[in-house]
Amino acid sequence: MIQLFRVSKVYPPNYPALTDIHLHVEKGEFVFLSGPSGAGKTTLLKLLFREEEATGGQIIVNGRNITRLDGAGIARLRQEIGLVFQEFKLLPSMTALENVALAAEVVGMSRRESRRRAFHLLRELGLREKHDARPLTLSGGEQQRVAIARALVNDPILVLADEPTGNLDADMAEETMRVFLKIHEKGTTIMIATHDAGVLKRFHHRGVQLQRGRLMSDSKSAQREVAS
């Protein structure tokens, strides 16, 4: 699903955010990207949905090299990826339902179908009663579930989440992680960047650790080494 070959990113004037990253993520995998602040987790995610452009190496997402894409190519790529952020990025002037349906409408789904799907997802995520509420009237956990519903509305092949539990207390963080696990059970590839040690301890999935822009450890390759 995701392949990175010797990927690097240098921010001007000369700040290396990522150096020589090799990473392969299979379809349907659940990967935690961990590391302290400034390790390069967010930059790596940004490269995957092309918010940033790699300064070196090649990145393949779902069989397509995304290193060089024009504006239309980037839009198409993002239509296949669901994005979740720490700060939710919901529009306060829209209801929960409208926020979710927006993502479907902009890719050409009819209003009726978009709203039907949005409602269905919100119900699945336990927000049936809150579909008409504006984001600012919802709790942090609820807002994050609305954001997750928006990320899922176009049936993405890949979900990228950047510190999705960063603004939530422990209970809400746990609840949010369970939502991601449920999505993963349906076969969606998931990559979550987090520095939440609690989350990493409780959920035993593949962990990729970054430090100062370099890949320090990958639990999958460690398992392979143990097995061999």
Q: Where does this chain bind other proteins (CB under 8 A)?
A: 49-53, 70-72, 74-81, 83, 89-91, 93, 102-103, 105-111, 150, 154
Q: Given the complex with other proteins, which of 112 and 186 has the nearer CB atom?
A: 112
Residues 136/84, Cβ–Cβ less than 8 Å: no
- Closest approach of other proteins to the CB of residue 18, in Å: 14
- Closest approach of other proteins to the CB of residue 108, in Å: 4
- Closest approach of other proteins to the CB of residue 77, in Å: 7
Q: Given the complex with other proteins, which of 46 and 130 has the nearer CB atom?
A: 46
Rounded to whole angstroms, the maximal C-alpha distance in the chain is 56
- Closest approach of other proteins to the CB of residue 227, in Å: 39
Q: Given the complex with other proteins, which of 53 and 174 has the nearer CB atom?
A: 53
Q: Given the complex with other proteins, which of 80 and 124 has the nearer CB atom?
A: 80
Residues 4/59, Cβ–Cβ less than 8 Å: yes
- Answer whether the bond into residue 13 is a cis peptide, omega within 30°: yes
**Which token pair is 62?**
């779902």
What string of H, E and C letters represents the secondary structure of 82-113? EEEECCCCCCCCCCHHHHHHHHHHCCCCCHHH
